[in-house]
Each structure stands twice: as C-alpha cells, then as structure tokens.
Structure 1
Amino acid sequence: MIQFLSNTWVNGSNQLGKDGQVNTQILILGVIVLVVSLILSLTFSKYLYDFKKNDSKHKIYGINFIIIFAVLNAIAIFSGILGMILFSNAKSIFGANSNIDNGANVAFAVIVTILAIGFAVIIGSSVLLWFGIYKFGIALDKEKVLFIGEKILYSKITKIIDDKGKIYINYLQGIRTNKRFKLSKSSVMGQWFIQNVLVTGHSIEKMNADEYFKNMNVLAKKELEEKQSQKAKEKK
C-alpha cells in the first residue's frame, strides 16, 4: 500500500523514496499516466486521420469537441511527464529549507495530486470519446455512416426513427445483435444528418423508437420479407 506520511529521499539521489529506496509505486503511476494518455492520443489521431482521409462529399467535423479532447490529452500527458520530473528531482525541488520528512511528504502529496489529475483527465476524455463519438464528426460515403473510430453500413440499417426529439439509427451488428445509435435533433450533428439522410438510402420515419427496438428482430425480419416479395413482383 502507498503510505502518505513516511516518505524520504533515495540515498545518494534526488528521487522520492521510502526508507532510502526508490518509491516505485509513484514512478509506476507516472509511467501509467504517460503511456495511457499517449496511447489514447495516438489512437484518436489515427481515427481522425482515417476519417479525414475518407473521400465522402458529405462530412461534418465537431471542431470544438476535437479541440477539447486534444487539450484534455495534452493535460494528461503533461501530468505524467511533470509527475515523473518532480519524482526524479524531488529533493532538489522540495527538500530545500525543510527537514527531510516534511519535504518528502510534501513532494509525495504534490506528485500524487498531479498524477491524480492526469488519471481524472484520462477517464474524462475516454468517457467523452466513448459516449459522444458522433460529436467529433460524421461522414456519409457510398456505403456507410462513418464516425471517428466507428461505422455503420447502410446495408445493416433496419430503420431510422424520429421520436421524442431524437433520431435513432437502428442497425444490425453481426448477424443477430441489434443496436441503435442516437442523435439529438436539436444538435448541429443531428440537423446535419437529417438534411443528408437520403444519402444512406433510408428515410426517417416517425414511430415509437423503444417499441421498435424491443421488437426489432421480428419487425426487421417482416420488413425484409416484404422487400424481397416486392422485388420478386417487380421482376415478374
């Protein structure tokens, strides 16, 4: 367990320690913050690059959210780097004009606070990316709805529903998994999608979205049979 009130300096070094030995727990926390934030940043950058590279004529960016995400990750990276720098130079920075124990404990508290901020920012940016993926950008190309890091094939969309101020994109993931994607009609992204929805080959229908999703398997199968029957009649 990490102990908060009995820290010292590493013998013959400026590093923060415990009983004269390197406090590896703090060092590991700093490395984790730095590595995780770098992985998150690089992953997002790759997704953003792929999104930008898509040649769709129908595309919109959520510039504000991209900037917010970039700033959050920059803070996390800075927290990890700063925490490790302070750890490595703790005695020089916090040890002057103070007794050994107090200086080390202050150093420990400051470094832990900085790393805690880094972890909090990582969690915040991850939640933003996970639950607000469409806020970063939407593109409609010839075969799919494309988000940053996610896509929905038009062929997998079963129905697009307008209900209670939201647009629900119902689709199949794989063969049997029913999923839906939700956009607010009042949002910029929602308005943009409504204006360009015909690119998907689907139209927006007004109905009870929850009821449809609950019975999606039956309704989707029935609708598919009707489409196949209609195509058969047209061939005749």
Structure 2
Amino acid sequence: MEGKTVIITGGASGIGKATAVLFAEAGANVIISDIDKLQGDLFVKEIISKGGIASFYQTDVAIPEQMEALVEYAINTYGKLDIAVNNAGIGGEQNNVTNMSLEGWQKIISVNLNSVFYGMKYQIAAMLKNGGGSVVNISSILGAVGFAGSAGYSAAKHGIIGLTQTAALEYSSQNIRVNAVGPGFIDTPLLNALDAEMKNQLISMHPIGRLGKSAEVAELIFWLGSEKASFVTGSYYPIDGGYLSK
C-alpha cells in the first residue's frame, strides 16, 4: 500500500474509520471523506500522530459535484487515485411501503445508492488515467434479502450490488476491479438509536451469536482493495455471522 491513494467515504466513524486505520498502517495516503468535519479532523490528527498519512475532505455524498470535487482533491493532493471505498450511508426512515414518506424514500436512495454511482463515475474516470485501481462498495446483507420496515434501505443496498457488477463488467478489462461487501448488523454508531431489546433481537438473527465489529469488516475491505485480490471483481461478499445462511 506504500504510495497508494485511498478515498474512504463515511470515513470518520464505524466501518469507514476502521478501514482507514488499516490502510494508514499499511502506508497508504488516506483521504477521510465525511459530512462530520469535527470528527474527520480529529481522526486525521490521530492517524498523523501515529505516523500515518491522511487528510480530511468534507463531503455530502448525495451531491454529485461534491463527489467530483473529492476525487479532484485526491489527485491534486496526492497525484492519483488508486482505491475508493464507497462506505457512507444512513439507516433512513423505518416504515412499511405504504406509510413511507416520499421524502424519506428519496433521501435514503440519494445518500445510499446515488452516492455510489456518483463516486464510481468520478473515481473510475480518475483510475483509468493511472492504468487501474480498485473500488469497494459497501452494500449490506439487506442487498441480498428484504427486511420489513426497511424498503428504502434494502432497495438501495440491492442497487449497489447491481451497480457493482455492471461496473466490473465494463472496466475489469482495463485493470479496474469493482466489488461489494455485505455486512450483517455491525456494532457501529448507526445502531446507537436502538434500545437493548431491539439490539438483542438483531443479535438473535446472527447464528454466530453477536453483532459484527467494524474491524472485522475492515479486514475484508482492505483485502479487496489490495493486490492480493487481483483476480477478484464483480463479486459480492457477505460478512454476516451466518445471517444469510438461515
């Protein structure tokens, strides 16, 4: 990873943060992209204090111009873009289909799905100029199955897998690999709003008997971004404690 440049959206917390730690420890130039400037700046200082190379770029991933500017920042700062992790997302409105607000639907599709398209549109264009690269899109187990009350989230995460496979078909011959990761329920700030009863219910859905950890998902993302996964493209990798095996 020495000298490689990596963009990680939603990089200031949860899975994105754990992933950034791995890339920084391996010697990559890490760009933390997040809507939370305070947390992003603090995290970059932490990486630098430990000898890593990192910078922060505030981004609303739902705005295409900001995603384009993020890629331009990577090139202007480090000269190229090698790896992109499209991780940013929200839980969004929880409601059944007939009761879901139009605003709630549009917001989750915009943040969780459109952002991945915007990211790949500009990231892949930059990678083509380098002669290759790797994109890792963060989907979910709910990219493979439904979940009552989560129509928008599940639709967006299913869409990410289709986008991933299509981009892989289009660009793999040009040395650009595109893969998706499908985490189960991971113990991140996204779950902080849940009470203990709901958390226990989620735990019971995983045969392994617990929620996942961000660091566990980060290991898979790191591998997919690296040359060790050089023959892997167009794939969807669940990391779910057995959730999808039921």
* Bin for the TM-score computed over the shorter chain: under 0.3
Higher strand proportion (structure 1 or 2): 1
Question: So what's the TM-score if we normalise by structure 1?
Answer: 0.22
Question: So what's the TM-score if we normalise by structure 2?
Answer: 0.21
Higher helix proportion (structure 1 or 2): 1
